[in-house]
Amino acid sequence: MKNLIQAAVVTLFAASAAQAQHAVQWKVSDGGNGHWYAATTVAGTWPDVRDWCAARGGHLVTASQTEEWLWLKQNIGVAERWAGGFQDHSDPSYSEPMGGWRWVTGETFAFSNHIGPFDDCPGGNEGSCGCVGDGNQDVVFFTGCCANRLDDIGDGITPGCDSQGRFGIIEYGADCNADGIVDYGQCHDGTLPDFNGNNIPDCCERKEACFAGSYPVQWRMEDGGNGHWYRVVVAVGDWEESRVRAMDMGSELCAITSAAENGHVLSLVTGAEQWCADGAGYWLGGFKQAGQWQWTSGEDFIYSYFGCGNPGDIQTNIQWYRVTTGCPPLGTIVWDDQFSTGCPILGGNPGFVAEWDADCNNDNIVDYGQILTGQLADANSNGILDTCEGPTCRDVDLFRDLNINGADLGILLSQWGPNAQFTVSDFNKDGSVNGADLGLLLSFWGACP
């Protein structure tokens, strides 16, 4: 599973690889802080390079320890590069001899004498070597002399020496999910998703829980796949609840129509974390109607992977099942037919496998991938391109029973007139529930496909 995730994520990062090349980690095992560092790929004024770093999920380096400074000199190279120190004129201590110095991260501006002492310049010559501390010099860089110690300079903008187009060093130290691991490394090794390539885990940006394996993976065409996206979702509930949840994400319960696709999805559920007590795990989109197995997506039911003498004659839905007893080989994962409630009676709720395959703009690219990478907009985060939005059967299914019927009509009629705080029946978004909305509801009358 990890290799599949890595393949998908690395491909998405290809376009943004120039943001900061060859980032190197100062490993904790080597006495470091676990942060990642790289030379910036652009040069400019201090504010320009500071902003460039911030836009990429990092910040101008805040080296304040002798060991960090020595490591940077050896592994990145620091001469004539901007660092993240600046003097804050609004700070009450600005009038003091050392000024209101700060790091861009908000840390206290402190460092050892080996890096940039305020009052101990070798040779006592500010002009030829430089020492941080001048009251009218407000940003810092690593000098090309004095063993590459820190020096201060004007404001980094004023024409002349101040505005020299220097490169900088970007540092990545954020840990947005507080798991003790710097986010940058997890974004780039496939542990956490970063589909928009800004070096900030997407789960943090969406304020969701971050854990490996909980995000979509593409079965890429260049790998023999269909270009669809898949995601394992844990601990939801019965089959109907799972399908509604999948539809709310703009997806459908997964339909497997070939051995190759089965192998791909099997690799995802094999690495998933939660299985019910009796071995049942993750719903698929298979259901039995009039004695015939079907997929909720409408695709033909031409392939199956049932195990242990299944399917039987009574159960009506399909889920992945980890065989634990009774059917060798023990511990394998196969399909099982289940009642729609799955296995809660024995503890735990099944999850499901979601699949995205819609291409509403007919560009031969599955829409969901374009949403994840930020190529196309999905402002309401429903998994459907904004340019393709319009009322669908699931939009007018107000009672959420996969049928458009009197229950939905009753809700619409109860909300007739100008929109109020909890109005949900204004399908065409014109500010009022009226005949146009009634017409849309009636056009979908019956079972949702």
> Do the beta carbons of residue 334 and residue 365 sit within 8 Å?
no
d(C-alpha 232, C-alpha 15), whole Å: 27
Q: Is the pLDDT of residue 2 over 60?
A: no
* Tens digits of residue pLDDT in 139-192: 888 887 777 878 777 766 666 666 668 899 999 999 998 888 899 988 887 678
d(C-alpha 165, C-alpha 157), whole Å: 10
Same domain, 326 and 396: no
Angle at which helices 259-270 and 2-13 pack, to 10 degrees? 100
In the sheet that holds 59-60, the strands lie side by side as 24-25, 36-39, 169-172, 59-60
3-class SS at 139? strand
Rama region for 180: left / alpha / beta (φ>0; ψ in -120 to 50; rest): left
pLDDT tier for residue 280 given thresholds of 50, 70 and 90: low
Backbone angles phi, psi at 82, to 5 degrees: -65, 145
311: in domain? yes
* Tens digits of residue pLDDT in 382-401: 777 777 777 788 889 998 88
Sign, CA torsion 402/408/409/412: negative
Res 356: pLDDT: 93
> How many helices and strands, by DSSP H and E, does the chain display?
11, 20
Task: Look up tokens 């943001």; give the residue.
Answer: 19
Same domain, 297 and 403: no
Same domain, 102 and 147: yes
CATH of the domain at 413: 1.10.1330.10
Question: Strand 417-418 vs strand 432-433: parallel, antiparallel, or unpaired?
Answer: antiparallel
How many Cβ atoms sit within 10 Å of the Cβ of residue 338? 24
Average confidence (pLDDT) over 224-248: 87
Q: Report which of residues 334 and 212 the model is more confident about.
A: 334
pLDDT tier for residue 37 given thresholds of 50, 70 and 90: very high
> Do the beta carbons of residue 140 and residue 96 sit within 8 Å?
no
Q: How far is CA 445 from CA 155, 243, 410, 448, in A?
A: 67, 19, 13, 8
pLDDT over 70 percentage in the chain: 75
Q: Report which of residues 358 and 322 the model is more confident about.
A: 358
Res 246: pLDDT: 92
CATH of the domain at 312: 3.10.100.10
Per-chain mean pLDDT for the chain: 78
The total number of structural domains in the chain stands at: 3
Same domain, 293 and 405: no
Same domain, 53 and 106: yes
Cβ neighbors of 360 (< 8 A, separation 6 or more) are: 367, 384, 385, 387, 388
Q: Which of 330, 356, 382 is the last residue of a domain?
A: 356
Res 260: pLDDT: 95
Highest mean pLDDT among 311-320, 321-330, 393-402: 393-402
How many Cβ atoms sit within 10 Å of the Cβ of residue 399? 14
Q: Report which of residues 158 and 328 the model is more confident about.
A: 158
Across 89-93, 331-335, 429-433, least confident range: 89-93
Same domain, 315 and 434: no
Res 8: pLDDT: 29
Q: Is the pLDDT of residue 342 over 60?
A: no
* Tens digits of residue pLDDT in 61-89: 998 788 898 899 999 999 889 999 888 77
Does an H or E element contain 140, and which?
Answer: strand 139-142
DSSP letter for each residue of 259-302: HHHHHHHHHHHHT-S---TTSEEEEEEEEEETTEEEETT-----
Average confidence (pLDDT) over 329-352: 69
181: in domain? no
Question: Strand 403-404 vs strand 446-447: parallel, antiparallel, or unpaired?
Answer: antiparallel
Does an H or E element contain 4, and which?
Answer: helix 2-13
For residue 441, give its domain range. 390-447
* Tens digits of residue pLDDT in 349-358: 788 899 999 8
**Cβ density class 232-241: b for 16+ within 10 Å, e for less:** bbbebbbbbb
Res 111: pLDDT: 62
Same domain, 164 and 231: no
179: in domain? no
User: Tokens representing 304?
Assistant: 């199956």
* Tens digits of residue pLDDT in 285-306: 988 888 888 999 989 999 988 8
Same domain, 227 and 324: yes
